[in-house]
Amino acid sequence: MIGKWLDIGPVTQIEPGTARTLPVDGGEEIAVFRTMTGDCYALVNKCPHKQGPLSQGIVHGAVVTCPLHNWNISLKTGEALGDDKGCVPTIPLKVDAGRMFLLREAVMGHASGAKAA
């Protein structure tokens, strides 16, 4: 039996102000962000606009700017900020003893198989 949280490794793997990617077999790739102040967030790695890889955007505050068309996406809610409208799914993330954990069902929830079911 595996717990409901997936261990994805130590926080120190992500330089503050950047993100890293987590591919999910049969599901949506996830982007794991760490802000300059050290907070961690996870989003599906697709801008709600034209599916740009948010993991490659510039992170400022708790916001990432999509590298394709500069939409600003909130890391906390996944919502597009400013005049843009759209939302990308967020994945609950917790940090414990320096390691990051993602909520399993949320990771799976964006697996294409789960959607079809």
Partner 1 sequence: MNAPQNFDRGGRERLVVIGNGMAGCRAVEELLARDPEGFEITIFGAEPRVNYNRIMLSPVLAGEKQFEDIVINSAEWYADNGITLVSGDPVERIDRETQTVIAASGRSEPYDRLIVATGSDPFIIPVPGKDLPGVVTFRDLDDVEKMLAAADAGGPDGKAGRAVVIGGGLLGLEAAHGLSLRGMKVTVVHLMPTLMERQLDEAAGWLLKEELERRGQTILTGADTESILEADGHVAGIRLKDGREIPAELVVMAVGIRPSTTLAKLAGIEVERGIVVDDHMVTSDPAIMAVGECVQHRGTCYGLVAPLWDMCRSLADFLVNQPTGYAGSVTSTKLKVSGIDLFSAGDFSGSDGSEDIVMRDAARGVYKRVVVRDSRVIGAVLYGDTGDGSWYFDLLKKGEDISDIREALIFGQAFAMGGALADPNAAVAALSDDAEICGCNGVSKGQVVACIAGGAHSLDAVRSGCKASASCGSCTGLVESLLALTLGGDVKSGPKTMCKCTSFTHDDVRRLILEKELRAIPQVMQELHWTTPDGCASCRPALNYYLLCAWPGEYEDDQKSRFVNERLHANIQKDGTYSVVPRMWGGLTNPKELRAIADAAEKYGARTVKVTGGQRIDLFGIHKEDLPAIWADLNAAGMVSGHAYGKALRTVKTCVGSEWCRFGTQDSTGLGVKIEQATWGSWMPHKFKIAVSGCPRNCAEATIKDFGVICVDSGYELHVGGNGGIHLRGTDLLTKVETEEQAMEMCAAFIQFYREDAHYLERTASWIERVGIESVRLRLADPEEVRKLAARFRISQKYSQHDPWAERARGKRADLHAHIAQVRPLQMEPAQ
Binding site for partner 1 (CB under 8 A): 1-2, 6, 8-9, 12-18, 20-27, 30, 32, 35-39, 50-53, 56-63, 65, 67-68, 70, 72, 74, 76-77, 79, 81, 96-97, 104, 107-108, 111, 113
23: its two tokens: 């591919």
List the end-to-end C-alpha distance of the chain, in Å, as a whole number. Answer: 23
Strands 30-34 and 40-44: antiparallel
Q: With respect to partner 1, which residue has the nearer C-beta, 20 or 84?
A: 20
Q: How far is the CB of 84 from partner 1 (least distance, A)?
A: 14
Q: How far is the CB of 2 from partner 1 (least distance, A)?
A: 6
* Whole-number Å distance between alpha carbons of 31 and 6: 15
Q: How far is the CB of 63 from partner 1 (least distance, A)?
A: 7
- How many Å separate Cα 70 from the centre of its chain? 17
Q: With respect to partner 1, which residue has the nearer C-beta, 1 or 116?
A: 1
Amino acid 117 reads: A
Q: Are 78 and 71 in contact (CB under 8 A)?
A: no
Q: How far is the CB of 83 from partner 1 (least distance, A)?
A: 14
